[in-house]
Structures are given as structure tokens and as C-alpha cells.
Amino acid sequence: MSKGAATRQTILTHAAGLASQVGLTGLTIGGLADDLRLSKSGLFAHFRSKEALQVEVLEHAAARFTDQVVRPALQKRRGVPRMRALFERWLAWEQAEVLPGGCVFVAAASELDDRPGPVRDALVTLQRQWVDVLARSFRYGIEERQFRADADPEQFAQDLYGIMLAYHHHARLLADPLAERRARRAFRRLLEDARR
Amino acid sequence: MSKGAATRQTILTHAAGLASQVGLTGLTIGGLADDLRLSKSGLFAHFRSKEALQVEVLEHAAARFTDQVVRPALQKRRGVPRMRALFERWLAWEQAEVLPGGCVFVAAASELDDRPGPVRDALVTLQRQWVDVLARSFRYGIEERQFRADADPEQFAQDLYGIMLAYHHHARLLADPLAERRARRAFRRLLEDARR
């Protein structure tokens, strides 16, 4: 990796962690320059605008998410083992120290849902891809006859999303120490329903 | 209602609608003054600081929520009818035109979860009250033997929260036309599980 590319990665990793706390719209090129002791003009050379920076932060986080959650989970056997791996790794991602405010996509979702533009478009594309991974993985489980033939993969994906969003809400905002245990219980119940 | 109190209500109603879109931190006294054609100094006379305004917006929205969701639902018979009413009215609230960006609490939750201070404290108090209403209502249903004796009211409350957050995410961000149908199906399944 060239020095320029390495600096870029450092900036994006820091920016993603910050965005998990203050939101994407809370990021400023000046603030990042201060945090990282870089010149503001140097940061502008990497990202020509705040919007470009925001889009790159989302794409950077999505690449990490693919590395840490999607790719390893897709190496598990189809059906229950793969769905469990997707859930467990998603939960670990949500709790990772590099994202002190939790999942940057969760933070961005309600922040951007009413702000049309390229940043929202990038977020929607990434979120649809993830929902599709969940639904497709579930569909493979139906094909393998591990899940009921009449189960709805998109329903499963939305329900699983809800478990994770409620976990985020109860753990992060309400500081509820039982939030994780309940999320795991809800996931087990969701899988059981699909297998019945 | 005095003229001053009426103006205050007008400001808070408009501010709550705006906060549902741009978030509580996106509210500014100057912006509100422009929108409502009031003087900035007049607005400052009503709310001494941005933080005071944000707290009042949350409390104003919570009072509406109590009027439109909690109070009418608590008039339904305990157990299934009351849980259904809580769910249906919560969904209607989320879709109400006065909140063009959806539930102002959902928007505020991920916005404020990492911003300590009086606004976050007010939000946490209100959200805990609502989660408690859900759990308590479910507990009454157990006492009435409509739900399983070993069902966990806090689990039900977190799961129901997840259904609503996933609905918000899929409908608002992903513009998925089936989001509502899936939310209803998930709620029916949650109730069935509790009755089994």
C-alpha cells in the first residue's frame, strides 16, 4: 500500500468510528484534520467535499463489514450454521471497539432517511445489499430443506434486522444489560419458527 | 389557552415535525423563527437555549404520544386487545402526517445515544416509560392468563420495539412497500408465540 493509500485508510477508519458516535453529518473535514493532526488542505486533497468523504466512509465501513461479517459467514454450511454465523458476526460488529458508537449504518439510517442526495443513495444501496445477503442466505436454507418451504426470506431478513435494531436501541440508549441476552433469545425463536 | 401558550404549542408542533426529519440536533432557533415568521428574540423568550427547546420538543411529542397511543390503548381490555391497540396506534403514530420523517423518538435515539447531556437524559426517561408501558401491559395479559405464564414481558417489549424499528428502517430508508405488511405479520407471530 502506498503512503497516500495508507493515510487514506487511517482517515477513513477514524472517520467511521467518529461517525458511529456523532453521525455522518457530524463529520467535518476540519474536525478530522484536528483529530489526526493533518492539514485541512491535505484532507481536502483526499476528499474533495464533505459529501465525498461521507460516501467514502460508508464504503469503507461496508468493506470492513464484508470482511468481518459477510465473507466468513458465507463459508459456513448453508442453512442454520450460516444464519447463526451471520447473526453472531453482525452482533460482534455492532459491539466492536473501532465503532465506539455502534454500527455506523444504524446511526446513518435514521439520520439520512429524510435527506435525499448521494450519501443517502450510497447508504440505501449498501443496506439493500445487506438485506439481500440475509434473504438469499435464508433462501438457500429453504432449498436445503432446513427451513419451512413456505417461510418468507424477506420476512426473515426484516425480522432479523429488527432484532439487531432493538438490541442497538436497548443496549446503547437505554444501557440495558439484558439487551444482548434478549436479542439472542429472539434470534433463536426466529430460527425455530423457520424450522417448525 | 393564553396566546403565549398557544404560540408555544405551535412552535413545538412545528419543531417536532422538523425534528422527525432533520433530527433534534438539526433544529435551530433561527431556522424555526424563519419557518414560523417569528422573531428570533421572541423564540428565545420561549426557550432560553437550544437544549431547552430540544427537551421541550421531546416532552411535547411524548404528550401527543400519550394522547394518541397510550391512553386510548389502555382503555381496551387487558391482554390481546390491549397489545393489539398499542401496536396499531404506535404504527399509526409512526405514519402520521404531522411527523413527516416518522417517529421523532426513533430519529432521536441513534442521534443522541452517544451525546451525554440533558436532552439524552430526557429521551432515555421517556423511552424507558414507553418500554415499561409495553412490558406492564403484557404482564397484565399474563395475569389474565391470555399469555403463557413463563413469557417474559421485557422480552416482549424489546421484540415489539424491534418490529417497529425494522418497519421504520425498511419503509423510510429502503422505501420497501411491503414493510408494513411484514411488521403486521411479525406482530401476529409474536402474539401467537406468547399465547401458545
Domain positions in chain A: 57-195
pLDDT digits (tens, 9 = 90+) for B50-89: 999 999 999 999 999 999 999 999 999 999 999 999 999 9
Answer yes or no: do B110 and A111 touch at CB < 8 A: yes
Spatial contact of A112 and A123, defined as CB atoms under 8 Å apart: yes
The CA distance from A136 to A26, in Å, is: 34
A191: contact with B, CB 8 A cutoff: no
Let me know if B7 is exposed, middle or buried by CB neighbors in 10 A (0-12, 13-18, 19+): middle
Residue A44, CB half-sphere, CA atoms under 13 Å: how many?
4
pLDDT digits (tens, 9 = 90+) for A68-114: 999 999 999 999 999 999 999 999 998 887 778 888 898 888 888 88
What type of residue sits at position B61? A
List of chain B residues whose C-beta atoms are within 8 Å of the C-beta of residue A174:
124, 127-128, 131
Domain B3-195, what fold?
Tetracycline Repressor; domain 2 (1.10.357)
The predicted complex's ipTM stands at: 0.93
pLDDT digits (tens, 9 = 90+) for A26-83: 898 888 999 999 999 988 888 888 999 999 999 999 999 999 999 999 999 999 999 9
pLDDT digits (tens, 9 = 90+) for B82-124: 999 999 999 999 888 777 888 889 888 888 888 899 999 999 9
Interface of B with A in 102-131 (CB under 8 A): 102, 106-107, 109-115, 123-124, 127-128, 131
pLDDT digits (tens, 9 = 90+) for B3-46: 888 989 999 999 999 898 888 988 988 889 999 999 999 888 88
pLDDT digits (tens, 9 = 90+) for A3-15: 888 989 999 999 9
A3–chain B nearest CA distance, Å: 33
Answer yes or no: do A114 and B154 touch at CB < 8 A: no
Q: Which of A110, A162, A178 minimises the CB distance to B110?
A: A110
pLDDT band of residue A174 (cuts 50, 70, 90) is: very high
Spatial contact of B27 and B50, defined as CB atoms under 8 Å apart: yes
From the list A82, A54, A55, A56, the residue with the least C-alpha distance to A69 is: A82
Q: Comparing B156 with B6, which gets the higher pLDDT?
A: B156
CATH class of the A57-195 domain in this structure: mainly alpha
List of chain B residues whose C-beta atoms are within 8 Å of the C-beta of residue A121:
none
Going by C-beta distance under 8 Å and a sequence separation of 6 or more, which residues neighbour residue B125? none
pLDDT digits (tens, 9 = 90+) for A108-162: 888 888 889 999 999 999 999 999 999 999 999 999 999 999 999 999 999 999 9
Spatial contact of B174 and A128, defined as CB atoms under 8 Å apart: yes
